[in-house]
């Protein structure tokens, strides 16, 4: 059986599929030629990430398709309901990148409390001429250990972030409308485990008590953090958004950064992605990454393996 991985798949995923008798095609076929290619090559399973769109027309065009797989979480680029109605099995890999996103949150947090985002902008310009002044401006860093991290949205990524925070010696508060109590087991390199039992904190209290706040909710109709929420926060709070553009009001965030309510922000996702606002890109207190939360080699390997395992169990 042939599987077309149109947006790529890890070598580990390909090997596992091939060992189980599947042929994996890794050509990237242009959207308008995709239906033709699938039919001509008798492709049974189509794997995509976020680039390829699997809409109603494509599904109608390819009656031989039995499975559609999304490497990653969101299925916005696939007409899932229609595919299912047509008897096509739809799979994704929702937890494969959770740890990668959580580690990026910590990259922004550790970078934030030591001003790395700004030092990396200014050292190339002034590191040789104003070394002592720069040393002074970045000399009032903070440690994360002992501080409180508030996590809004306590699903897969929120919980993975909490584990890193606990391991780093932080206190963790979480708010999630559907979860009251969560037990998290941290596993260390030598097999030791420690289990923490956490209880939900109401959102308002979390906003008031956290030294840093990170948001891990799905796309929302309204902002999770806006003007009202920023006002409730501690002065000098650090904010991270590696969830979705639009969960934080960026205008309110910039105002809060400028009034020093918020000391720094770490952003991986943007309201106007893929053209983030210039005020965000140029802001000296924002640590920036271009939506790479889940983009690690390890996550790609897990995505490939998880897709391969699901394909084998469904199609073989
Ligand atoms: N930066 C990246 O590259 C990257 C990669 C993967 C996922 N993501 C994003 O991360 C987010 C979280 O992913 P996940 O896998 O943890 O999802 P998940 O479904 O496992 O968890 C989301 C949690 O948010 C909670 N929630 C929903 N609305 C809420 C609200 N208003 N306030 C508080 N909690 C709320 C839900 O109850 C759920 O428990 C998603 O938006 C996803 O798109 C980003």
Q: What is the pLDDT of residues 152-170, one digit of tens each?
A: 999 999 999 999 999 999 9
Contacts 24+ apart (CB under 8 A), 56-64: 56/82, 58/34, 59/83, 59/86, 59/88, 60/86, 61/35, 62/35, 62/38, 64/38, 64/39
Q: What is the pLDDT of residue 59?
A: 98
For residue 130, pLDDT beyond 90: yes
pLDDT higher than threshold 90 for residue 74: no
Active site residue 244: yes
Confidence (pLDDT) at 231: 98
Residue 50 has pLDDT above 90, yes or no: no
pLDDT digits (tens, 9 = 90+) for 160-219: 999 999 999 999 999 999 999 999 999 999 999 999 999 999 999 999 999 999 999 998
Residue ID of nearest Cα to ligand 1 atom 28: 217
> Which residues, judged by CB distance below 6 Å to any ligand atom, belong to the binding site of ligand 1?
73-74, 94, 97-98, 101, 152-158, 175-178, 216-218, 220, 224, 242-244, 268-269, 291, 293-294
273 is catalytic: yes
Confidence check: pLDDT of 100 > 90: yes
- Active site residue: 70, 108, 216, 244, which one? 244
Determine the distance separating the centroid of ligand 1 and the alpha carbon of 287, expressed in angstroms.
21
C-alpha to C-alpha distance for 272 and 275, rounded to whole angstroms = 5
């Amino acid at each position: 059986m042939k599987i077309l991985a149109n947006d790529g798949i890890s070598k580990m995923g390909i090997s596992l599929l091939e060992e189980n008798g599947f042929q994996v095609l890794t050509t990237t076929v242009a959207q308008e030629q995709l239906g033709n290619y699938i039919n001509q090559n008798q492709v049974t399973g189509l794997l995509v990430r976020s680039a390829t769109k699997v809409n109603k027309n494509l599904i109608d065009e390819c009656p031989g398709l039995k499975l559609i797989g999304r490497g990653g979480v969101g299925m916005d680029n696939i007409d899932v309901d229609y595919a299912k109605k047509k008897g096509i099995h739809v799979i994704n890999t929702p937890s494969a990148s959770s740890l990668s996103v959580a580690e990026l949150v910590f990259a922004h947090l550790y970078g934030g409390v030591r001003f790395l985002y700004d030092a990396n902008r200014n050292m190339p310009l002034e590191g040789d001429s104003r070394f002592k002044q720069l040393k002074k401006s970045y000399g009032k860093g903070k440690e994360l250990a002992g501080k409180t991290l508030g996590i809004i949205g306590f699903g897969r990524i929120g919980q993975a972030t909490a584990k890193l925070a606990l391991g780093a010696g932080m206190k963790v508060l979480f708010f999630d409308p559907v979860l009251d109590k969560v037990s998290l087991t941290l596993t260390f390199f030598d097999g030791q485990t420690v289990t923490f039992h956490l209880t939900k904190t109401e959102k308002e209290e979390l906003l008031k008590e956290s030294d840093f706040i990170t948001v891990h909710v799905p796309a929302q109709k309204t902002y999770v953090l806006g003007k009202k929420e920023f006002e409730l926060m501690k002065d000098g709070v650090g904010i991270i958004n590696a969830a979705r553009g639009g969960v934080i009001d960026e205008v309110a965030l910039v105002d809060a950064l400028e009034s020093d309510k918020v000391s720094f922000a770490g952003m991986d996702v943007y309201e106007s992605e893929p053209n983030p606002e210039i005020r965000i890109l140029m802001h000296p207190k924002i640590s920036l990454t271009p939506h790479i939360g889940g983009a690690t080699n390890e996550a790609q390997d897990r995505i490939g393996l998880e897709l391969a395992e699901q394909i084998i169990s469904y199609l073989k």
